[in-house]
Amino acid sequence: MSASIEIRDVRKAYRRGPAEVVALDRVSLDIAAGEFVALMGPSGSGKTTLLNIVAGIDHADSGRVAVDGVDLATLSEAETTRWRARSAGYIFQFYNLIPVLTAYENVELPLLVLPLSRQARREHTMAALEAVGLVDRKDHLPRQLSGGQEQRVAIARAVVTDPKLIVADEPTGNLDAGSEQEIMTLLKRLNQEFRKTLLMVTHDAAAAAFADRVVRLEKGRLSA
């Protein structure tokens, strides 16, 4: 299950005192269902801003972002929350795991807002942990895991609702070379075997090489 993404003339700016800082300047981009796209560019180029807009975490000032034909700007806050819970999984650079919860409990969290029974939540959670090879670590706290294992827990949490879209913000930025290879191989597998559309922000050319296509942002604009 995958999602197509249509981005048209998206603009986003922020106020910093009296100044306006333009993060995205009329960005247009199409991503096919099931495609793995890496988004590269220098710091401050608007990569994470675009990622957050596609994931429904932030909103464009103007322009259109549609995921599988759903124009995100037309959704209410409650509708956006429900859409995000079912349709988009987010992977963070620093994992964002809750330290007092086990790996199992961290992965289960997104399911708590869905109308599922405890048994259904368990089945989904165990399937996600199995997909990332961490069933044997399900009762471990984050501090008892390696960095690579923590990121695998974060990936399991992102896919536990079976979303059509996975967005990843520097998913290997806090990992050593061995763990980076492991995580990127896992993401590529999710893309190919499970047909997840994947949009990834990265500074790392080695990580970007796993993608089907690399798109570059410079000062809020797509560059050739």
Specify the pLDDT at position 10.
96
Tokens, residue 119: 């048994």
Asked if residues 61 and 138 have their Cβ atoms less than 8 Å apart, the reply is no
Q: pLDDT tens-digit profile of 152-190?
A: 999 999 999 999 999 999 998 888 888 899 899 999 999
Q: How many CA atoms lie within 13 A of 97 on its CB side?
A: 29
Helix (H, G, I), strand (E, B) or coil at 149: helix
Give the amino acid at 155.
Answer: I
- Cα 169 to chain center, whole Å? 6
Instruction: Identify the band that residue 1 occupies on the pLDDT scale cut at 50, 70 and 90.
Output: low
**What pLDDT is recorded for position 17?**
84
pLDDT tens for 89-141 read 999 888 889 999 999 999 999 999 888 999 999 999 999 999 899 999 999 99
Q: Which domains does the chain have, with CATH numbers?
A: 5-223 (3.40.50.300)
Q: Are 183 and 148 in contact (CB under 8 A)?
A: yes
Buried b / exposed e along 13-50 (16+ C-beta atoms within 10 A) = beeeeeeeeebbbebebebebbbbbbbbbeeebbbbbb
